[in-house]
Amino acid sequence: MKNASGPPIGPGAPWLAPLAGFSDLPFRLLCRENGAAAACTEMISAKGLLRDFKKAASAGPHGASAELLRTVPEDAPLVVQLFGAEPDCIAAAAREAMGRGFVFFDVNMGCSVPKVIKTGAGAALLRDPDKAVAVGRALFRTAGEGRAGCKLRLGPDAGSSAYADLARRLEDEGAAWLTLHPRHARQGFAGSADCAALEKLARSVSIPVLASGDLFSAEEAVKRLETGVRGVMFARGALADPGIFRRYLDLLAGRVPEAYTGAAGAAFLLRHARLARALSAERAGRSGIPCALLKMRGIAPRYLRAFPGVGRFRAALAHCAGWDELNALTREFFPDSV
């Protein structure tokens, strides 16, 4: 289902969440190959993006924020998630990105990381609904009808429920969709997601609501649809199993999903490594090892953490200095991989 001129939203169109440090281009493509219908960039500072665009205009380096926008045609539809506390800055960053071909946007109003909170952005906006609405309005009007949404949490801390009233105001200002991670910002990832809040929000607004939070299996995601949300957004569940999108779609279609095996985990690892090697700049760290490979050494064990031998595999990876060596180690420890 299309939301006006926006990205696909519906039970059969699962999204990949914006995951700081993880939802880069190689991982987004891996998830798309396994059924993700749309993906978000990592969360990007509006101020940082404007600064990087200014550097690029003067032939300087692109910078870390602009680097988060790296994409290819196969990485579509892509939703650029911005954070910031100044409406003019959010609007300017979106305009600059639109001038470079980006179409869909989201504004984060749920991140509880201290360095984001102290700028007045992320979940700090839940303490100031008027400012949150102004930030949302600036983005929605800049992007155009159907092309921008907002990611929320329940409120800044326990006992606060800013989300329902704020959601209605954001809808009135032109939000095309809302995503709710039903925890308070102060909770982080502790406790459990409040599914009753998802149901309340789905009844409170007429625009699509996407469910996030605690979707660690395809079965949990299908059950979350019972709250009345229009779709689901996988985050930590996708980090452990990029095939969660396909398993979810299989369940919706009445098919029995394939079991997650060590061979499947190794196959995800090898494919992710091929994508990272092909798409990442070969910048070397202090050790002389490509930065993308160093990052991959940390990522690789999560695909295989439930299987025997992963501890020894992780230890061996600590000395891995080349892509071919990573491939060889994977096949040595998990010989059924392809």
Q: For 316-330, give one letter per residue: b (16+ CB within 10 A) or e.
A: bbeebeebeebbebb
Give the span between the Cα atoms of 211 and 229, in whole angstroms.
Answer: 6
Write the DSSP assignment of 264-278 as a string of letters: HHHHHHHHHHHHHHH
Centroid of chain to Cα 219: 20
Give the span between the Cα atoms of 270 and 209, in whole angstroms.
Answer: 34
Peptide bond just before 77 cis, omega within 30 deg: yes
Give the span between the Cα atoms of 265 and 276, in whole angstroms.
Answer: 16
* Secondary structure (3-state) at 188: coil
As a residue count, the chain comes to 338
Q: Which one is catalytic: 111, 150, 195, 291? A: 111
Beta-ladder partners of 38: 15
Active site residue 111: yes
Give the residue numbers annotated as catalytic, written as ranges: 111
